[in-house]
C-alpha cells in the first residue's frame, strides 16, 4: 500500500500556517521557502524564513506509517545601532523554540481538489525525541565584517504516526 499522496501538502501548509502565526505575533515578516518570492522589499528587512524538509515516510506495519519532518526557521536582524534591542534575535528564537516544543496540529489544508482538503485535523507532529535529538537555537552572529546583519536559526525534527488508508 502506498502512502497518502496528500500528506506532504497538508504537512507543508499546516507548518506554514503554524509558524506564520508565530511570526505575526512577533510582527516579523516571514518568507516560506518554495512559496514566497524573494523580492527585494522582503529581503532587506528584519525577517524570518521557513524551510521544511520532508516528510520522510516509512510504513512500519500494515497500514501504519511513521512520518518525520525537519523544520528550520532562519531569522535575520538588520542591526540598527544605538537604542536597538540587541537581544531581539534571541527573543524571536525563544518564540520559535516555544512553538516547536508543543504538538503542532496538521490539518487537511489545500485547494480541495477531489473533496479531500476539508480542513479537518489529521494528527499532530511532536518533537522527535532521542539521545541526539533536540530543538536547537543556532546563533550565527554578524555574518560579515562590513554588513550590519545578524542571523540565527531554530532547527527541529518532528514525527507523527498515521493509519492509512482508514485514518488518513
pLDDT of residue 98: 96
Residues of the chain with pLDDT under 50: none
pLDDT of residue 146: 74
The CATH number assigned to the domain holding 121 equals: 3.30.2000
pLDDT of residue 82: 67
The pLDDT tens digits of the residues spanning 27-75 come to: 999 999 988 777 766 667 889 999 999 999 999 999 999 999 999 999 9
How many domains would you assign to the chain?
1
Please state, in angstroms and rounded to a whole number, the distance separating the CA atoms of residues 65 and 167.
11
Q: Which residues does 12 contact at the CB level (< 8 Å), separation at least 6?
A: 34, 52
- Domain holding 96, by residue range, is 7-163
pLDDT of residue 51: 97
Q: Is residue 99 part of a domain?
A: yes
pLDDT of residue 79: 79
Q: Is residue 68 part of a domain?
A: yes
Q: Is residue 1 part of a domain?
A: no
Buried b (16+ CB within 10 A) or exposed e, 34-44: eeeeeeeeeee
Q: Is residue 42 part of a domain?
A: yes
Q: Is residue 61 part of a domain?
A: yes
Amino acid at each position: 500500500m502506498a502512502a497518502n499522496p496528500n500528506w506532504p501538502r497538508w504537512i507543508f501548509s499546516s507548518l506554514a500556517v503554524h509558524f506564520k502565526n508565530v511570526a505575526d505575533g512577533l510582527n516579523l515578516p516571514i518568507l516560506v521557502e518554495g512559496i514566497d518570492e524573494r523580492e527585494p522589499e522582503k529581503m532587506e528587512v528584519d525577517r524570518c524564513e521557513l524551510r521544511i524538509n520532508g516528510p520522510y515516510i516509512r510504513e512500519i506495519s500494515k497500514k501504519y506509517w511513521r512520518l518525520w519532518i525537519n523544520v528550520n526557521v532562519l531569522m535575520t536582524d538588520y542591526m540598527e545601532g544605538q537604542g536597538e534591542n540587541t537581544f531581539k534575535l534571541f527573543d524571536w528564537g525563544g518564540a520559535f523554540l516555544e512553538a516547536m516544543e508543543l504538538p503542532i496540529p496538521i490539518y487537511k489544508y489545500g485547494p480541495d481538489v477531489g473533496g479531500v482538503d476539508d480542513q479537518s485535523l489529521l494528527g499532530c507532529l511532536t518533537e522527535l525525541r532521542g539521545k541526539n535529538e533536540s530543538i536547537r537555537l543556532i546563533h550565527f552572529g554578524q555574518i560579515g565584517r562590513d554588513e550590519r546583519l545578524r542571523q540565527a536559526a531554530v532547527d527541529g525534527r518532528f514525527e507523527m504516526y498515521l493509519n492509512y488508508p482508514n485514518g488518513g
